[in-house]
């Protein structure tokens, strides 16, 4: 890799070079994207409603405790927060046609 300002060459070991190729997001960056606070994201992570952040682990010694999200996790969170109505409790149920039909059937049974 070459620094464009001073033309110095930087050598990166091959086994760690994929960090520079893949776009990774921090909790703060994702919070800005979905317009929520970072602690809100952590709360939903604990409830398993959104994907959990991953850690680099021991493979990358300087970054072993860093948490990150990949692009697919960010898309999943954007979709989750776009479907969510603020102020309403969050449930684990997906808002699918099957769940709506099941709920409707339950309501019909109650009224008979």
Three-state secondary-structure class, residue 62: helix
**Binning pLDDT at 50, 70 and 90, where does residue 43 land?**
very high
The two three-digit tokens of residue 96, written as one number = 């699918």
For residue 15, the model assigns a pLDDT of 62
- Are 44 and 90 in contact by the 8 Å Cβ rule? The answer is yes
Residue with the bigger pLDDT between 86 and 27: it is 27
Query: Model confidence over 75-112: pLDDT tens digits?
Result: 999 988 888 776 666 665 555 556 656 556 666 655 55
Q: Please give the backbone phi and psi of residue 25, each rounded to the nearest 5 degrees, phi first.
A: -120, 140
Q: Taking the domains of the chain in order of start, what are their residue ranges?
A: 14-111
Q: How wide is the angle at C-alpha 83 spanned by C-alphas 101 and 106, nearest 5°?
A: 20
Contact at 8 Å (CB) between 44 and 52?
no
pLDDT at 101 (0 to 100):
61
CATH 3.40.50.300 correct for 14-111: no
């Amino acid at each position: 890799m070459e620094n464009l300002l001073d033309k110095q060459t930087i050598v990166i070991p091959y086994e760690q070079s994929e960090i520079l190729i893949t776009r990774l997001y921090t909790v703060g960056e994702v919070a800005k994207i979905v317009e929520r606070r970072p602690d809100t994201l952590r709360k939903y992570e604990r409830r398993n409603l959104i994907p959990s952040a991953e850690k680099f682990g021991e493979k990358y010694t300087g970054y072993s405790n860093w948490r990150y999200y990949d692009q697919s996790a960010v898309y999943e969170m954007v979709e989750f927060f776009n479907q969510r109505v603020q102020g309403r409790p969050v449930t684990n149920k997906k808002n699918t046609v099957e769940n709506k039909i099941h709920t409707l059937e339950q309501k019909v049974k109650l009224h008979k």
